[in-house]
Structure 1
Amino acid sequence: MSFSNSLKEFFGLGQYDPAVDPYYDDPAYEEAGSTSYSARGYVERDYEQRDYTAAIISVRPRNYNDAKEIGEPFRDGDAVVMDLSAVDKPTAMRLIDFAAGLCFAARGKMHKLSRTGDEHLVFAIVPENARTTVGELERAAHLR
């Protein structure tokens, strides 16, 4: 047998020999009974989610390594106000992307608190069921 024939046989591309298959003449297995399955439905949560007033944590990161100061309070359910004025633009963009990922993963919301042309670049991220107004976030960022 040549190398190419053995390679074809190994991958099942060679000619089929019914004498090699011991189960060729056996009847096909069929299970008696119903094969219909019910679709899985949406499972309701066992507890009632309640809105709560989150603590507002102000953070002024100096570099990307300070991202944990943003992520840990948000993970714990607190709103985080980020003043990104102290970092360069590429680092600020990375921190904004990081915060957007946090919001997406935890179903939170992101707010831009600073206005265009303002000297400060301030964003806030708020957890899913937190009752926190934009005014409260602006006061925590000292913008009001």
Structure 2
Amino acid sequence: MSLVNKTKRFFGLDSEAYAYDHDDAYYDDVPRYEGTAAYAPERSYEPAPSYSEYREERPVHHEASIVTVKIFQNNDAVKIGEPFRDGDAVVFDLSALPAEGAKGIIDFAAGLCYALRGHMVKLDGRIFAITPENSALEIEQLKHAANLY
């Protein structure tokens, strides 16, 4: 018997394999349901609630504290992200970074503002501030925290 015929017989693909009566327990199982899924009993589904039903009413103003940060390297972006995620305003100084590194930090801060619905403002040359969505902070308060007055 050739290797090909032995392989066919092993996998049950030869003509003799179809002639055997299977005594395997798999073939004796009774189906768990009658018919197919297309004939399954009808189920009723309620429409999903709209987004406005899930959304809680947010306060008009949030008392946010101001965190000031001086960024020395790109890995210091965490110093901006964590307080902002917690609901605080962050004033950050990028004067110690080269232009390319500063651009990356600004992009990161802009992404934070977009994701958490905050606002970003340039206070001076390389000093920026990001504020949470419902904060009542004025630009003068942010400039005072950055020692620009």
Q: Which runs of 4+ in 1 moved over 6 A?
A: 30-37
| 1:140 aligned partner | 145
State the identity as a percent.
45
Q: In the alignment, is residue 41 of structure 1 matched against residue 50 of structure 2?
A: yes
Label 1:104 to 1:48 Cα distance change in 2 as closer, same or farther (>3 A): closer
Q: Distance in 1 between matches of 2:40 and 2:113?
A: 48
C-alpha deviations, 1:57-85, integer Å up to 9, x for none? Answer: 11111010111111111111110001111
Whichever residue aligns with residue 148 of structure 2, its letter is L
Aligned residues: 118
For residue 32 of structure 1, report the CA deviation from its aligned partner: 8.0
Whichever residue aligns with residue 97 of structure 1, its letter is D
Question: TM-score normalized by structure 2?
Answer: 0.65
| 2:126 aligned partner | 121
| 1:55 aligned partner | 65
Q: Distance in 1 between matches of 2:66 and 2:115?
A: 20
Question: TM-score normalized by structure 1?
Answer: 0.67
C-alpha deviations, 1:31-50, integer Å up to 9, x for none? Answer: 78798974642324345434
Give unpaired runs (5+ residues) of structure 1.
1-27, 115-119
TM-align CA RMSD = 2.7
Where relative contact order (Cα < 8 A, 6+ residues apart) is larger, the structure is 1
Q: Distance in 2 between matches of 1:76 and 1:88?
A: 28
Give unpaired runs (5+ residues) of structure 2.
1-35
Q: In the alignment, is residue 97 of structure 1 matched against residue 110 of structure 2?
A: no
Q: Distance in 2 between matches of 1:88 and 1:125?
A: 21
Whichever residue aligns with residue 72 of structure 1, its letter is E
